[in-house]
Structure 1
């Protein structure tokens, strides 16, 4: 039974304005030649009945009432313009008579059919909040779009009008259903809503000169952002949008000079080149803190103090640093070690720190002063692990010298030396006050009597024991070794009681829940697994990361935080296994993550040498549905120039409208990463290929899957159409090449010969031959017979790619051996092109086949003469490896993209860089040119696609004064908050920590 809070109406109330406004208005709407909606004169249905909406938008509890009484306290029927209908009749345009309304709504047998229900004598409620949200959203929408701007209307007149709109009554930040419903209408192909987007922009503009529409403006921009509308390069000086939600917003280049941005949320937004001069930003929310930097080398570990007020970090730079959690600043720098600090621990009273180092020493430090108290010497090799006893009187250490030693804290003298291990000891732990557990590379875990130094138990593993955890009652030990298995042992007997199998690759870490009921494990198999300790059964598999290195339970055991080599941190719900949040910002692999003991924050450190603190207290407010949720692996223009298709590691293929950037379709069906997509030549079909070993063909118009091409037994690496579009060729990790009928999906030929993965395939320009390359060699095949015609050998390392020349006479290949080779197809002769200093990642012939351009991990592009094989020039400018390169259609320009996150346009004749296109927040994986040469498409590891173009020029017309710009960005940008080149001069309201964050991310004051 659905009952919605205090939203109560009485039977004597007038039922008005909760109707199918959309249906009634359709009868009165005309769309003129300028696509501006007109409301017929005389129709005042949107304004004459306001009672319900006055209460909805001004009441203490949103929409407490669904009706009102008239002046004579007489019951009113639904008006002719605004009528109440059952949910089944919501599209019916008939007028419902008074008695029918009451009969249906207040005396119906099945309440499931109606939006209201009786809750007592003379009282009624909405059945469900979604009903309320629907009607409220409809009211707001038609309130906004029914306004017809007059040509001679002054700004002041419009401001007065805008103040009266329902959207200006209250902030909708807590009414996400309403926001989402309105946002969905923005992208509908329905003439009714054609003006909605522009009207919302107009409302934002109106806030420039008056505070009276600031609520409407904040709601408008929040709705536009929820609809994934690009808001870059806007002239929004002086706007007033306090408390707007601009999470993940694309605002690059927008001007917010003198704007009121108090309380605005910019979580993971793109604020590159945004101007905030003189803006008010009190209470602004970034969702991130300034990172803690100071270490000059890899961070080896962090630990919170027992009271949770400070934490320490230790590093390969030989130092230990103590940090204040609330102030997020360094309190102490502990210097003394002369080699890597491998381990450190607080004493249980938080007054001391013990550390162990590659300099073979153990050191004791005073936390308050940072002073070194004692040096403990005796180990003859690296000290890998140290721990205080429970009473803080002793220290236990383990070393690469194969020994465990017990030390007296007060005197610094060695009390015991425990021998028995035959390899490095990398973990020591206290089982209780009398026993020590040690873990070694000799494949054993050993339990020792602390007083006598005698060995009590030996737990033998099949491989090197990597890590161990102990249940709080000390009854069981959980260990993992250098394989995919987790072991559970009984402490008293030393027997192995359970083996947990499920991971397919090395386990990198395990952790126990605080109640000892569950284990979480993470692995290089890209999964996190939750296990029940009692039964040993696997409860959940969490997927989304790649190369996961760490996972921890939250203090309440309801969440898991994980970190990975993919640079991301992810939050998961333990019960459902659902991914709740992705935290992005680290520039290198995440090494460790920790929940704060007393706050809803997370601490992480990374190979980027930084420590970061993340606020996870605020759930994502706005659900942005348009865009890939993982790395974009491919994108391409349609031949007709109207659409773009993209694919991603999120296993989806998405279709986009070029003009608006609107997402048109999402194609789902692949069960693994989608690695590439291409359009058919008529733009009616899309072909996608995946690591799931399948090729799928989709209908562009309907979004339906037409065919699945199955036959390969391993991931597909490349697919190409024949020049006439009748065939497809595919290459796979299964070492085979297959030719398919593009219409029927039938396999025509199976080509075997390669002894390693087939990396690339291509039809010859005349369609009679196929070229393929593998790690080993290049092969040429006859299409009709499937016969192997030729093998080209010469490269000394893996071949990166191949290309036919446009005239079909030559083949270009490029390799990890730093060379390119040109092969004459008729003679088989080769030219070796040398010059690159690192592996060659891409190459393309000029349209006339006379030149070849290549790109490399040496950060350069090189232009070559095809006839002679001589290098013509070197194009320098990229600051990281160049991923892809292409000629413009006329061969006059060269376009490149790089791991330095930029796209660059070059003059092919002079080699001079003409333009630098920046904005992506991750490595750019590829570019594609539109067929008419007017636009560039780029896609990136930051999960976004960008369209670049010029208002009045093609790529061939680009000069230093006639430049291209970003037309739109689609997708939800990863890599966290972007503030590069933003301007914050004279802003008011930033905290000192926020100012530091802005500076760290490239903003200027």
Structure 2
């Protein structure tokens, strides 16, 4: 871009001039507890201490051998470093020297220091040892199996170890015993972190994925995908609401913990990102790299560049009104927005939620919108006036799903508080609490007559609730977490799917089931055809499969997606299937041949949701690229991506990756701050 003679006053770059350290690789860094200083250590075995306000390095501490790790102690003035032969400490503010002291403890291959600096854990493939630094005494000496790394809990009471057998184990520091083993499917784990409130554990792996686990249950709750190379570092924000990650792909990602959504991508490093962290107020991120630089990024949402008339955030869900004339969207900025399809203009903004809105749905007559949010409330809105009619309060955990009854008189909701709640729409009152599940309830829906509810849970059970007779029937069969359960159209059968890679077909009257096997990874969802003769299922193995309900045989495997298939649905009297995937594409398939007949790939970010109009003529999709797209489904046998009938991109907003200052012309530009001038020179 050419910025000659441009006035740049008030322009926000979102990045600060980087700190050039040495030609050596930066291996890690850490803030002092008071956030006044930051240290980093490099392959030249020097620890450098920089004052954040002055942006100047005021101490260089030379270690006696290769540094394994280094950190500040709680007094803000002492730095401790560990090598295999020595533990060394320095006072960074001492006059006339560093006041160094050396503790002669022979350590093993790898070392971690407790958050308060009082203990060290040293470990190798077959042994874990813990030392008290003050007394130099050995606290723990345990044999282990193939330990690759360990990490302290924030309060120092426990450590988590992980190994080449990919099973993270949690140890008590007081007893020295294993007290928890995490459950799930692991790749080769590169690292783990624990949230400040001790409720969540994350792992990151060589398959470029971050996984978040619930500490109490040991089960996985989020999978974060976006990096294209090995992840080297991940950290929680101070309030545990966000995660920052750095990778060999040279990028820094910021994620929302509750939703698992990608919030920002920070690009600028020219080599591998080796460590990342948040500043105390979480509005800035620091990263270091093997390019020899440390970079500070301003991530405050309120300072993002506004690119359109409306400042919108990540779109978390979309719905077409029953008559196809309006689009409702839910956003991470806590709002719901209503759009007119014909004019493509925003009609209304619904405000009231205090946290990101997870999802929305129209009533069957289109007069009401229901929204649910991470603020743990459900809200009912009048479409015509834009006013909030009712707020439904009761859930104690994040709400997973909300559904209308067929007559629009009731709502059913399910939550991570392990409960299902039934609400009266007119009064806004809770009329039933169903609480027999022992873990998170993932799905709940009414039968057509509104007298029964089908639910599925991560306690590996499906339950059929007879509301009128106050009875509950429990079905067991799946061997791992259940992701979904759906009635057949005649409501005589139920199909369910699970992390055990199977789907099951259940007889509603007897509760008996049969297993359908074929998928090689977790099955995300399954659905009956309109005449209940077929089932489609979609999976993390990148395939969609079609099954015959009566002879229990697999009919077709639909292959073409390059990543996990997130949703699939029958179209046009079951002659076609539409699907979307983590590969950022929407695909349409012919059921009889199993061939792909249409490819829609305009989205540049992960697709977050898809909705089909009632007449199957339009597809509505939303993405982390901050766009909503409305597509037309034509009936041609094959449509190339360049010929696809794409109607409109409704909006594109927010900070866009790909905007670069590289090779730009800045002659006689005015209004830049000193920091911005330095950044322009560096870029």
Q: Are 2:313 and 1:629 aligned?
A: yes
| Alpha-carbon shift at residue 344 of structure 1 (Å) | 5.0
| Alpha-carbon shift at residue 861 of structure 1 (Å) | 1.3
The 8 Å contact of residues 65 and 83 in structure 2, kept in 1 or not, is answered as: no
Q: Are 2:384 and 1:691 aligned?
A: no
Map Cα deviations across residues 194-213 of structure 1 (whole Å, 9 max, x no partner).
xxxxxxxxxxxxxxxxxxxx
Secondary structure of the residue aligned to 1:904 is strand
The match for 2:638 is: 959
Task: Trace 1:185-584 onto structure 2 (pairs within 5 A).
Answer: 262-263=2-3, 304-305=20-21, 312-314=24-26, 345=47, 362=66, 383-385=68-70, 398-400=82-84, 403-404=87-88, 418-419=103-104, 426=112, 440-441=120-121, 463=156, 504-505=197-198, 526-527=237-238, 546-547=242-243, 565-566=254-255, 584=266
Q: 1:839 aligns with which of 508, 511, 522?
A: 522
The match for 1:906 is: 589
Secondary structure of the residue aligned to 1:566 is strand
1: CA distance, partners of 2:552 / 2:488: 14
| Alpha-carbon shift at residue 839 of structure 1 (Å) | 0.6
1: CA distance, partners of 2:156 / 2:299: 38
The match for 1:669 is: 352
The 8 Å contact of residues 757 and 774 in structure 1, kept in 2 or not, is answered as: yes
The match for 2:365 is: 682
Map Cα deviations across residues 777-827 of structure 1 (whole Å, 9 max, x no partner).
001112333422x22210000000111122322111010111111112123
2: CA distance, partners of 1:932 / 1:607: 54
Q: 1:701 aligns with which of 384, 397, 402?
A: 384
Cα RMSD (Å): 5.1
1: CA distance, partners of 2:609 / 2:445: 18
The match for 1:923 is: 606
Q: 1:753 to 1:420 in 2, by over 3 A?
A: same
1: CA distance, partners of 2:430 / 2:118: 59
1: CA distance, partners of 2:44 / 2:565: 37
Map Cα deviations across residues 660-712 of structure 1 (whole Å, 9 max, x no partner).
33222222222233222110111111011223232110011221110012233
Q: Are 2:613 and 1:934 aligned?
A: no
2: CA distance, partners of 1:590 / 1:659: 49
Secondary structure of the residue aligned to 1:970 is coil
The match for 1:134 is: none
Q: 1:924 to 1:763 in 2, by over 3 A?
A: same
Q: 2:537 aligns with which of 854, 863, 867?
A: 854
Q: 2:663 aligns with which of 991, 995, 1004?
A: 991
The 8 Å contact of residues 893 and 908 in structure 1, kept in 2 or not, is answered as: yes
1: CA distance, partners of 2:562 / 2:420: 37
2: CA distance, partners of 1:948 / 1:839: 29
Q: 1:611 to 1:659 in 2, by over 3 A?
A: farther
Q: 1:693 to 1:607 in 2, by over 3 A?
A: farther
1: CA distance, partners of 2:290 / 2:436: 42
Secondary structure of the residue aligned to 1:547 is strand
Q: 1:353 to 1:894 in 2, by over 3 A?
A: farther
Q: 1:858 to 1:304 in 2, by over 3 A?
A: same
- Which structure dedicates a bigger proportion of its chain to helix? 1
| Alpha-carbon shift at residue 610 of structure 1 (Å) | 11
The match for 1:779 is: 463
2: CA distance, partners of 1:694 / 1:676: 11
Map Cα deviations across residues 588-620 of structure 1 (whole Å, 9 max, x no partner).
99942699xxxxx98735899998787999x76
1: CA distance, partners of 2:321 / 2:562: 32
2: CA distance, partners of 1:792 / 1:909: 33
The 8 Å contact of residues 314 and 344 in structure 1, kept in 2 or not, is answered as: no
Map Cα deviations across residues 378-426 of structure 1 (whole Å, 9 max, x no partner).
xxxx733499xxxxxxx995225564499xxxxxxxx985236999765
2: CA distance, partners of 1:864 / 1:958: 23
2: CA distance, partners of 1:586 / 1:799: 41
The match for 2:212 is: none
Map Cα deviations across residues 324-371 of structure 1 (whole Å, 9 max, x no partner).
xxxxxxxxxxxxxxxx96965469999x99998xxx953xxxxxxxxx
The match for 2:498 is: 815
**Which ranges of structure 1 fall in alignment gaps of 5 or more residues?**
1-260, 266-284, 290-301, 317-339, 363-381, 388-394, 407-414, 429-436, 449-460, 467-481, 483-501, 509-522, 529-542, 551-562, 569-580, 596-600, 980-988, 995-1005
1: CA distance, partners of 2:401 / 2:200: 32
Bigger RCO of structures 1 and 2 (CA < 8 A, at least 6 apart): 2
| Alpha-carbon shift at residue 918 of structure 1 (Å) | 1.8
Task: Trace 1:597-746 onto structure 2 (pairs within 5 A).
Answer: 604-605=287-288, 622=306, 624=308, 626=310, 628-630=312-314, 632-746=315-429
Q: 1:465 to 1:757 in 2, by over 3 A?
A: closer
Instruction: Name the TM-score, length of structure 2 as normaliser.
Output: 0.63
The match for 2:477 is: 794
2: CA distance, partners of 1:902 / 1:639: 25
Greater displacement, 895-904 / 605-614? 605-614
The 8 Å contact of residues 397 and 415 in structure 2, kept in 1 or not, is answered as: yes
| Alpha-carbon shift at residue 623 of structure 1 (Å) | 6.0
- Point out the structure with max Rg over C-alpha: 1
Q: 1:397 to 1:747 in 2, by over 3 A?
A: closer
The match for 1:803 is: 486
Q: Are 2:653 and 1:972 aligned?
A: yes
The 8 Å contact of residues 769 and 780 in structure 1, kept in 2 or not, is answered as: yes
| Alpha-carbon shift at residue 932 of structure 1 (Å) | 1.6
2: CA distance, partners of 1:752 / 1:882: 32
1: CA distance, partners of 2:400 / 2:285: 38
Secondary structure of the residue aligned to 2:527 is strand
Q: 1:386 to 1:722 in 2, by over 3 A?
A: closer
1: CA distance, partners of 2:299 / 2:334: 27
2: CA distance, partners of 1:966 / 1:800: 33
Map Cα deviations across residues 136-166 of structure 1 (whole Å, 9 max, x no partner).
xxxxxxxxxxxxxxxxxxxxxxxxxxxxxxx
Q: 1:887 to 1:993 in 2, by over 3 A?
A: farther
- Which structure dedicates a bigger proportion of its chain to strand? 2
2: CA distance, partners of 1:633 / 1:287: 26
| Paired residues, number | 515
| Alpha-carbon shift at residue 867 of structure 1 (Å) | 1.6
Secondary structure of the residue aligned to 2:255 is coil
The match for 2:149 is: none
The 8 Å contact of residues 855 and 885 in structure 1, kept in 2 or not, is answered as: yes
| Alpha-carbon shift at residue 761 of structure 1 (Å) | 0.6
Q: Are 2:433 and 1:753 aligned?
A: no
Q: 1:426 to 1:834 in 2, by over 3 A?
A: closer
Q: 1:463 to 1:993 in 2, by over 3 A?
A: farther
The 8 Å contact of residues 693 and 715 in structure 1, kept in 2 or not, is answered as: yes
1: CA distance, partners of 2:498 / 2:370: 28
Q: 1:806 to 1:401 in 2, by over 3 A?
A: farther
1: CA distance, partners of 2:449 / 2:200: 51
2: CA distance, partners of 1:978 / 1:885: 34
Secondary structure of the residue aligned to 1:883 is strand
The 8 Å contact of residues 452 and 464 in structure 2, kept in 1 or not, is answered as: yes
Q: 1:657 to 1:745 in 2, by over 3 A?
A: same
Q: 1:810 to 1:548 in 2, by over 3 A?
A: same
2: CA distance, partners of 1:727 / 1:344: 66
Q: 1:621 to 1:792 in 2, by over 3 A?
A: closer
Task: Trace 1:856-871 onto structure 2 (pairs within 5 A).
Answer: 856-871=539-554
